[in-house]
């Protein structure tokens, strides 16, 4: 793949897991892509480095005010040996919408897509081949300016990591038991429910912890009067999300 992105390859490749042992989101590939933003100079050019920890100031805005967004896409290994991504441009369009809602500066989706594709190509040997598996692609933007105060950050980090995954739920593609929650609320009218932002998922943790098992939650419409629904009674969906 032809690219102008600067790539620093790892000198210590990791052992790759067997497809049959894959869970969701616990193993990560050898490399990650990075871009940074500074007010006045905009987004830097993307570059790829070996996967590893990132450094944050203890006062970084994301740690205090949760100015963070992410998205998730997948790459699949075809029977013909070709690696295919499912709608990566649409995922970046959604991420752009999340950025607008969370006051994060607009990014060049084509540059990010180039970085994403280059990263997947570099770590293509990590794409699992077994049915029901995929290479999960997680782009993230976090606010990195060190300050205390409620306002949008002036500095940001965009990074992309990859993870070979199995099914998200243990049931795979079998029908799922869904908990209908009438106690906890994930999003409200006028809020940030349409954005893939960290706080939305933090708001769901209590409801998930209330489940005896790892089940998806059916959130009720909070603009209507609540109804009495037994949260312990499961209903059924026909497929995994």
- Residues marked as catalytic: 196
Mapped onto helix, strand or coil, the DSSP state of residue 69 is: strand
- For the four alpha carbons of 169, 191, 43 and 154, in that order, the dihedral sign comes to negative
The Cβ-side half-sphere exposure at 211, using a 13 Å CA radius, reads 17
For the record, the structure tokens of 33 come out as: 């892509």
When computed from its CA atoms, the radius of gyration of the chain, rounded to whole angstroms, is 19
- As a whole number of angstroms, the distance between CA 23 and CA 158 comes to 25
CB atoms inside a 10 Å sphere around CB 68: 21
> What distance in Å separates the CA atoms of residue 149 and residue 127, rounded to the nearest whole number?
42
- What DSSP string describes 88-112? HHHHHHHHHHHHHHTTPPP--HHHH
> DSSP class of residue 119?
H
Strands 176-181 and 134-143: unpaired
């Amino acid at each position: 793949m032809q690219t102008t992105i600067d790539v620093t390859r790892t000198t210590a490749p990791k052992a790759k897991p067997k497809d049959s042992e894959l869970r969701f989101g616990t193993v990560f590939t050898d490399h990650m892509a990075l871009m940074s933003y500074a007010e006045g100079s905009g987004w830097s050019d993307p570059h790829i480095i070996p996967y590893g920890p990132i450094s944050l100031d203890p006062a970084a805005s994301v740690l205090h005010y949760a100015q963070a967004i992410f998205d998730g896409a997948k790459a699949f290994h075809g029977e013909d040996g070709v690696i295919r991504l499912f709608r990566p441009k649409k995922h970046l369009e959604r991420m752009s919408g999340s950025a607008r809602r969370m006051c994060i500066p607009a990014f060049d989706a084509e540059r990010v897509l180039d970085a994403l594709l280059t990263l997947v190509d570099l770590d293509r040997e990590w794409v699992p081949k077994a049915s029901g598996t995929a290479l999960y692609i997680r782009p993230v933007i976090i606010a990195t300016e060190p300050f205390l105060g409620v306002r949008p950050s002036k500095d940001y980090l965009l990074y992309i990591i990859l993870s070979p995954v199995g099914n998200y739920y243990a049931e795979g593609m079998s029908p799922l038991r869904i908990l209908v929650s009438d106690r906890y609320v994930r999003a409200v009218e006028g809020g940030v429910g349409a954005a893939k932002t960290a706080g939305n998922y933090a708001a769901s943790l209590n409801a998930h912890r209330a489940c005896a098992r790892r089940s998806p939650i059916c959130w009720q419409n909070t603009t209507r009067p609540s109804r009495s629904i037994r949260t312990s009674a499961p209903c059924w969906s026909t497929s995994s999300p």
